[in-house]
Amino acid sequence: MSQRPDLICIGMALVDLIIKGFDSEPISASGYRAVSSTLSVGGEAVNEAMAAAKLGTKTAILCSLGEDAAGDMIAAALSGSGADCSRIVRSSDHPTPVTTMFVNDDGSRKSITNTAHRYNFHPEKLISRFSDARALILGSLFRAPFDDPKIIHAVLSAAKEAGQIVITDTKLPNFRFLSLDDLKESLPLIDYITPNEDEARYFSGKNEPEEMADVFLSYGVRNVIIKLGSKGCLYKNREESFFLPACKIQPVDATGAGDNLVAGFACEILRGASPKDALRFANACGAICTTAVGAGTALKSREQVLDFLADQASSG
C-alpha cells in the first residue's frame, strides 16, 4: 500500500452520461434530440478525491470498480488528477455503475440509477486501507455501500479509533431507505455532515435550514453544513451558526458542485483553517465546478480557487 495520505475518500464510483438540452418531443417513433451528451467520471468519492488531489492534498480513494471500460475510465481519471488509486478494489462480479444525468439550462439536474449501484462493496472489511489517513470523507451516506447501518457503524468506529476527522456527505436513498433513527449509534461519530437542502429536508422533516441543522445536531453530529445551491450554505454547531452566500457565477452544470465543496472544506480544515475560512474556500470550489460540464472538469488547483476568491472580493 502507498504512503500515508492526509485524506481518504470512501464510497461510490461511477460514470455519468450527462445529457444537456434534452427535448422530450420525439423526432420519430423511437428517437429524441439533445444539445449534447458527455461521458464523465463521477460518484461522490471519486469527485471528492479528484478535487482534493488537485487542491494539493495528499489524497487516496477506497472504492470498488468493475473489470470493464467504465472502471478503466474512472481509474485513469483518478490517477490523472494525482489521487492515490492503490486501494481501489477491482472485481469482475459486477459492472461499474453508469448514471444518466439530464442537465437543465440553469445547471440543475435529474438522474437515473440502476441496480449496478447496489454492488457488493464492503469497506468495513478493509479497515487497514482507510484508517491511516488524517481525515476521512465518507461519500454517499444513505447510498450503497453506506445504506447498511452495520457497515456505516463499523467504518465510522474504525475511523474514530484511528483518530480521524470524519466528514460524511449524504444522498437521498434510492434502493434501501434509512432514517436518522436507524443511524442513531453512528451519527455521534461524525465531525461534519454535509447534506444539500433537499437531503436535509428529507431526513430532518424541517423546512428552514437552521431547524434542519438542529435535527442533525440533536442526534449527536458535531457540525452541520447545509448546501443551499444558488443560495449559498449554512454552517451550524452547538456554539455558532453562520451563512455564506453563493459566489457570483454563471452556472453551466451543477453536477458534482457539492462534492467539490466538501473536498475543498476538508482540504482547508486539514491545513488548519477555521470553519468559516474553510467553508468560504469550499464555497468557491463548488462555484468553480459549475462553470463546466462534468464534476471534475473546471477545478484545477488551489491557486485557481484563491484567484477566484480574490476576483469575487474585488467585484463586490
Residue ranges per domain, the chain?
A: 9-22+36-304
Going by their DSSP bridges, the two strands 135-141 and 7-10 should be labelled as: parallel
Compute CA distances 202 → 93, 199, 276, whole Å.
33, 5, 26
Dihedral sign from CA coordinates of 156, 160, 162, 166: positive
**Residue 147 to residue 199: CA distance in whole angstroms:** 14
Share of the chain above pLDDT 70, in %: 99
Q: Which residues contact 75 (CB under 8 A, 6 or more apart)?
A: 65, 85, 88
- State the helix-helix crossing angle for 44-54 and 69-81, rounded to 10 degrees: 30
Mean pLDDT of the chain: 93
Q: Tell me the CATH number for domain 9-22+36-304.
A: 3.40.1190.20
Contact 10, 45 (CB under 8 A): yes
pLDDT digit string, tens, across residues 56-99 = 999 999 999 999 999 999 999 999 999 999 999 998 888 999 98
DSSP 3-state of 103: strand
Amino acid identity at 303: E
pLDDT of residue 1 exceeding 60, the answer is no
Task: Name the pTM for this structure.
Answer: 0.91
C-alpha cell at 215: 435535527
pLDDT digit string, tens, across residues 224-246 = 999 999 899 999 999 999 999 99
pLDDT digit string, tens, across residues 16-53 = 898 988 988 899 988 999 999 989 898 999 999 999 99
